[in-house]
Amino acid sequence: MTELPVIRLRPKSKPQAIRHGFPWVFADEAVLDRRTRALPPGGFAVLEDADRRPMALVTVNAASKIVARVMDADPAARIDRGWLGGRIKRALALRARLYDTPFYRLVHAEADGLPGLVIDRFGEVAVIQPNAAWADAMAAEIAAALAEVAGLSTVILNGQGRARGLEGLDERMEVLLGQAPEAPLPVAMNGATYLADLMGGQKTGLFYDQRPNHAFAQRLAKGAAVLDVFSHVGGFGLAALAAGAERATCVDGSAAALELAAGGARAMGMAERLDCVQSDAFKAMEQMAEDGRRFDLVVCDPPAFAPSKPALEAGLRAYERVAKLAAPLVAPGGFLVLCSCSHAADLAQFRNVSARGIGRGGRRGVLIHSGQTGPDHPVLPQLAETGYLKALFFRLDG
């Protein structure tokens, strides 16, 4: 085996964080000399502490703020198809224990020991998002390992999104194995049917992370009039209909996403109980308030308004505005669900701006439940970014 290059921590860095499980080395923590900067993005190296003691095998990208990601605590590990298969097999064993159907997040990046790699499973099809340079370079090997370990027939690479730009990776969409589905795939969750567009939809085609929060919302939805704002393909709205909601209204800016929501309702035999409104969500809520509309359950699940620390303050203001506009739309004694997928905004910050927005909207209420991602999105305790989702369930007074 060819001897790997070495990347070394600066003397004032904190190697114990790496030894205790933190998976990243930032650019200001490593010695970035000419030799290190010349390493190919996504290549592998041995991480040493400042005293030249080997610590781990890492993947290196000198063009990224995260200059190194821990691949294996064993500095002598070899990253090949067999190693990939072992990590995927371990991730698959957890999901097989958790779910009766093959629809879930199969790999959740660092939390599953595959840094920067996301894999969502849709039956015999997988969609991978290689958001780190090593995973992009080894996409073919990842696809082969998926076929071997999980028996999947089709693997699609969806190389889009902000994370790839931070790694210096171009956007691309590619079928790595098999053939892409000719139509959106039906996915059954919580008694609802969703349509996942694996080639043209957002991210991997469907968001599995809200599954447990859909389920909790269903407990509030029977007989209710439901408003699902920033609905995408009808996540909360279709779940509410499956639980016996009288009617659901989905609001989203994407006509394609709303068509998928309508298709899901048709597949459930509930098309007549779903209304779709294509509109800017803020404008739609303002107009509904002017029209005196009220709903028993209102859910707002917007995109990440605070995807990074520099965007935090503006993002928190946006979340507060969502709460302010949504609160007046809730009928007396009804429920308001506010969600955030911004890892830069922690739970306390999001809870505070949500409560302030509800107050500015002229309402008061109590928090009855706080939700997060499901167990197919495991959280690495040392890395807060893996626990990004917050869902707050409020009961509002009159």
Q: Which positions are annotated as active-site residues? A: 341
Q: What are the structure tokens assigned to 241, written together?
A: 């209909």
CA distance linking residue 223 with residue 204, whole number of Å: 32
Structure-derived torsion over alpha carbons of residues 107, 108, 111, 115, reported in degrees to the nearest 10 = 90
Environment class of 353 (CB within 10 Å of its CB; exposed 0-12, middle 13-18, buried 19+): buried
The enclosing H or E element of 225 equals strand 225-229
Which of 206, 204, 215 minimizes the C-alpha distance to 337? Answer: 215
The enclosing H or E element of 324 equals helix 312-326
In this structure, the strands spanning 172-177 and 103-108 are unpaired
Where are the strands (E) in 18-102, listed by range? Answer: 24-26, 43-48, 54-60, 66-72
Which of 325, 311, 307 minimizes the C-alpha distance to 227? Answer: 325
Query: In the block, which residue shows the tokens 């093959």?
Result: 102
Is residue 305 within 8 Å of residue 318, measured between CB atoms?
yes
Q: How many CA atoms lie within 13 A of 104 on its CB side?
A: 23
Which of 208, 240, 215 minimizes the C-alpha distance to 375? Answer: 208
Residue environment code for 94-106, b if the CB has 16+ CB neighbours within 10 A, otherwise e: bbeeebeebbbbb
Alpha helices, DSSP H, located in 113-234: 133-137, 139-150, 162-166, 211-218
Phi, psi for residue 202 in degrees, rounded to 5: -75, 145
